[in-house]
Amino acid sequence: MKKNIPYQLQRLFLNLQTSKKKSIQTHDLTTSFGWNSEDAFQQHDVQELYRVMFDALEKKMKNTKQETMINELYQGKIKDYVKCLEVSIF
């Protein structure tokens, strides 16, 4: 179960909801991502977290009724542009 990201997420949220502690250990969750202790202490951006987590969730949901759920719930568009600071364009 240590490599099962959906299970570790459930455990984490259960612990967050039911614990009286001010903080909760995330070691089992980061282990489920395939991260070692060095990786866990490196700063990761949120896109990396989402990529790892959503890829794992999609694999677990393959061939189930929820197979397309991640894609349906979490999608977006990226808009990239360059703005000139020297010239004002209306």
Task: For the chain, 90 residues long, give each residue's pLDDT as a single digit of tens.
Answer: 777 888 898 999 999 999 999 889 888 988 887 878 787 777 878 888 788 788 888 888 889 998 898 888 888 888 888 888 887 766
* E strand map for the chain: none
Helix (H, G, I), strand (E, B) or coil at 29: helix
Asked if the structure places residue 11 within a domain, the reply is: yes
| Long-range residue pairs from 65-71, CB within 8 A, at least 24 positions apart, any chain | none
Asked if the structure places residue 82 within a domain, the reply is: no
Asked if the structure places residue 78 within a domain, the reply is: no
Has this prediction a pTM greater than 0.75?
Answer: no
The 10 Å Cβ neighbour count of residue 38 is: 7
Asked if the structure places residue 80 within a domain, the reply is: no
Structural domain harbouring 9: 5-73
Number of domains forming the structure of the chain: 1
Asked if the structure places residue 20 within a domain, the reply is: yes
Asked if the structure places residue 58 within a domain, the reply is: yes
| Pairwise CA distance, residues 60 & 66, whole Å | 10
Asked if the structure places residue 23 within a domain, the reply is: yes
Asked if the structure places residue 56 within a domain, the reply is: yes
